[in-house]
């Protein structure tokens, strides 16, 4: 009976070059987060200023509408108010979309930060390697052996499923 093939996780101690690479990735991710936050601040500042301009238009128009003015002038002012309200609504929608997009971007970089931090703090990386499962029915164990190096990764007791003979 042929040995089963599988993949197993192993801990690999990080060498200095890998630590430096992770540190660089960490710094890049932090910088990207800072850049995204700065972009958000700038965007929101610009949008807030535009909303304030539209609110001023509305305020001025409403003030004029309270006066005794011709109907055509009232219609024009009402249209200005409606246009300003629509513009504000569109800006608010744009802000929401922009913030959602930036939050997703920041989350991606936060994930990179967390991965790098974890690896650097542990000093190890977890990697998947190909292995063969070698069963020893006498000793009632199964041994996971790396196919690339022949190194024994782990040995576990056989369970009931391991001892059953499959129909071929």
Reported as a single tens digit per residue, the pLDDT across 41-66 is 999 999 999 999 999 999 999 999 99
Mean pLDDT value across residues 106-111 = 98
* Domain extent at residue 59: 4-163
Q: How many domains does the chain divide into? A: 1
Select, from the ranges 9-18, 86-95, 130-139, the one with the highest average predicted confidence (pLDDT).
Answer: 86-95
- DSSP element (H, E) containing 159: none
- The CATH number linked to 66 is 1.10.287
The Cβ-side half-sphere exposure at 143, using a 13 Å CA radius, reads 11
Q: Is the pLDDT of residue 166 over 70?
A: no
Q: Is the pLDDT of residue 168 over 70?
A: no
Q: Categorize the per-residue pLDDT at 11 as very low, low, confident or very high, splitting at 50, 70 and 90.
A: confident
pLDDT above 90 as % of the chain: 85
145 assigned to some structural domain: yes
Q: Contact 33/109 with Cβ under 8 angstroms?
A: yes
Residue-averaged pLDDT of the chain: 93
168 assigned to some structural domain: no
pTM over 0.85: no
74 assigned to some structural domain: yes
């Amino acid at each position: 009976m042929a040995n089963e093939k599988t993949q197993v996780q192993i801990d690999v101690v990080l060498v200095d070059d890998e630590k430096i690479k992770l540190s660089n990735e960490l710094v890049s991710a932090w910088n990207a987060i800072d850049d995204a936050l700065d972009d958000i601040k700038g965007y929101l500042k610009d949008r807030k200023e535009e909303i304030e301009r539209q609110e001023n238009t509305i305020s001025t128009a409403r003030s004029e509408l309270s006066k005794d003015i011709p109907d055509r002038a009232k219609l024009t002012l009402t249209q200005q108010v409606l246009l300003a309200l629509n513009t504000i609504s569109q800006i608010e929608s744009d802000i929401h979309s922009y913030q959602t997009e930036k939050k997703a971007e920041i989350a991606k970089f936060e994930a990179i930060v967390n991965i790098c931090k974890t690896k650097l703090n542990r000093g190890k990386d977890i990697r998947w390697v190909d292995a063969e499962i070698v069963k020893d029915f006498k000793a009632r164990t199964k041994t996971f052996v790396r196919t690339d190096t022949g190194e024994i990764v782990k040995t576990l007791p056989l369970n009931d499923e391991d001892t059953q003979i499959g129909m071929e």
